[in-house]
Amino acid sequence: MRSFVAFAVKIIPKIFKDTLKNKKIVLLIVAVIAVILIFNLFRNKNPETQIFKRLDDQRIQAPEAKARQDINQSFIFSIGNSKILYTIENAELQDQIIIKGQIAKSVKSKTFLVLNLKIRNDSKEVIEVNTRDYVRLTTNDNKNDKIALEIHNDPVLVQPISTKSTRLGIPIKDTDKNLSLYVGEIAGKKKIISINFK
């Protein structure tokens, strides 16, 4: 074994040196390497795809809810000559929310109450909806102070014969309990929905 290693140590540099003296062999090696590199670069992939794959994913991760309560209640509201189906899917508590593509964090001792909505427009016209007009919030069984939800995407444009998802939110205290939503048109009767996160 030692004699083979000694032989290899002596002969390999000599073969490499002799090969480098032959220009045709050197050019052939360079050409083969170039072909392999070009083939790998374009094989099954667009160069733009390669670039984008190497970049980190810059999309914002949607914050996870600390607590969630399903609501799944729908209401029909009139807007001008049209009607919308206004569905409150669920309510969530979150320490972070996305506002205009940026993450907003709650301050200490507060959290965000978020309502996930679906607005359906069965008409043939675009409808502009101020979603915050239909919901008020009370906390700690205080029925006198009805709070408007101040985090919104209003006005929400709902295209003809389509459904659009949107959200409403408000910061509340960590200690707030017995939350109630008052849902209805501004001058109309309200339905009370209790929220008690477990």
- Which CATH code for domain 67-195? 2.60.40.1240
Domain locations in the chain as residue ranges = 2-54, 67-195
- What digits encode the pLDDT tens for the residues 97-107? 777 667 777 88
pTM, two decimal places: 0.68
The residue assigned the tokens 């849902």 is 183
Tokens of 7: 């032989």
- The dihedral over CA atoms of 74, 143, 140, 99, expressed in degrees to the nearest 10, equals 50
Q: Are 107 and 140 in contact (CB under 8 A)?
A: no
Q: What is the pLDDT of residue 7?
A: 53
Cα dist from 166 to 132, 139, 142, 143, whole Å: 11, 23, 27, 26
- Check residues 34 and 92 and name the one with the higher pLDDT: 92
**Taking 60 as the threshold, does the pLDDT of residue 6 lie above it?**
no
Per-residue pLDDT of 36-95, as tens digits, reads 877 766 665 555 555 445 556 666 666 788 899 999 999 999 999 999 999 999 999 999
